[in-house]
Amino acid sequence: GRLEAVTQQMGYHPQYLDSFLKTQHYLMHMDGPLPFDCRHYIAIMAAARHQCRYLVNLHVLQFLRAGGDPEWLRGLEFIPPKLRNLNEINKILAHRPWLITKEHIEKLLKISEWSWSLAELVHAVVLLAHCHALASFVFGCGCEQDEGLGGRVSLSLGNQCFCEATAGNSCSQELLRINRKRSLDSCMELDSLRERMQRIHVETEGREEMRLLQQDREEGEGQRAEVAAEHHSDLSTGLSLLADPDGEVTGATNLACYMQDPDFGYQDFARRDEDQTQVFRVQDYSWEDHGFSLVNRLYSDIGHLLDEKFRMVDGLQSSAMAKRQGCEPSVFKRGIWNYIHCMFGIRYDDYDYAEVNQLLERMLKVYIKTVTCYPEKTNSEMFDRFWKQFKHSEKVHVNLLILEARMQAELLYALQAITQYMI
């Protein structure tokens, strides 16, 4: 047998893995406002937004084990209206979280036969954000491909969910050592890399390189955010290389029954046509000062677990990764984190966004944006083909940053809307 794929990848950073598993186990299997079968069905709805068969199939198994009604698995038309009403906020959180308003919250909480309580809604929101972000990790690390052509998740540890499989047990260090010997760990020599990075960071050469690769540039230029202004067309180019030839994801139609409005997807925050949505300033509403206390009050202890996970990924060692970029580890990680938040309209007044363009080379930005905003457009070559200068463990580290930054972004928007409703 082998470790389940997500655990296997996260196992390159055992301290983070332990924190992740504790959080996931608490969300899915410990006391909380939502029934156990509903938790797994919400996870199915969330994963389906990104056409992540891996997570959908995993939670279908768990849904049935929790005593869920098999009829619900026929699609949204067969579930209670209360759960179905969660579809709108699921859709918005997954793709354009800045559109969440207190009206969406009010609609779910209004007094009726199918109304949600505040505690239930907070539990559901955390589940949605958790599964959206985990879908990014699954695609970003190639776990979706491990599922195989049969469309089933390989669970070598019986029929356990991966958060149960290692609960209370440390991951096998021998298995982790074997995984670390993969050919993926090979990387370019440092001197050669430095020369390459210098060439990539030359503006004119970078543009010419991307022009040669480009096949389908997005129409129109529009307004760009400060960071996105220079790179949006490059990202579009990169996506044309990552998507399947027909622009669709194999097997995605199998998940159509779990979502409505499948064409609703990510849209660049900087290119929105209306000015109704303002930039989200962390100085006005932050996780540390606002989100943590709210979520912990309404869903006991989950705030502490989430906070530990956010801090854990920030504390992971990345000295080699940062040295290759010629900067301190904290500077490199903050550049990735703030770049991800910027794509969702979240800004830090004390940060110089020019650093993002200096720290992150173009193809790394293509990778980060794709895995963050439309992970379903990745393919099996993406993890290996791009930014080969990173070791496998370093690539996993970047994917963990994507997971946590994305999850925190979704939570900030949802919790701010809940706060506005409560006021």
**Active site amino acids:** 52
Question: How many angstroms from the chain centroid is the CA of residue 227?
Answer: 20
Q: Say which DSSP state 256 is in.
A: G
Bridge partners for 281 per DSSP: 347
- For 269-391, where are the alpha helices, taking DSSP H only? 292-298, 302-315, 319-325, 329-343, 354-359, 362-373, 382-385
H or E segment and range at residue 10: helix 5-10
Dist. CA 160–CA 109, nearest whole Å = 34
Residues 6+ apart with CB under 8 A from 385: none
Please choose, from the candidates 304, 281, 282, the residue with its C-alpha nearest in 3D space to the C-alpha of residue 293.
304
The CA-based dihedral angle spanning residues 281, 287, 289, 292, taken in that order and rounded to the nearest 10 degrees: 150
With beta carbons less than 8 A apart as the criterion, state whether 397 and 7 touch: no
User: At 237, which helix (H) or strand (E)?
Assistant: helix 232-242
Report the C-alpha gap between 407 and 341 in whole angstroms: 10
**Distance, CA of 322 to CA of 334 (rounded, Å):** 11
Torsion angles phi and psi, residue 80, rounded to 5: -60, 145
For 46, the token pair is: 């969330």
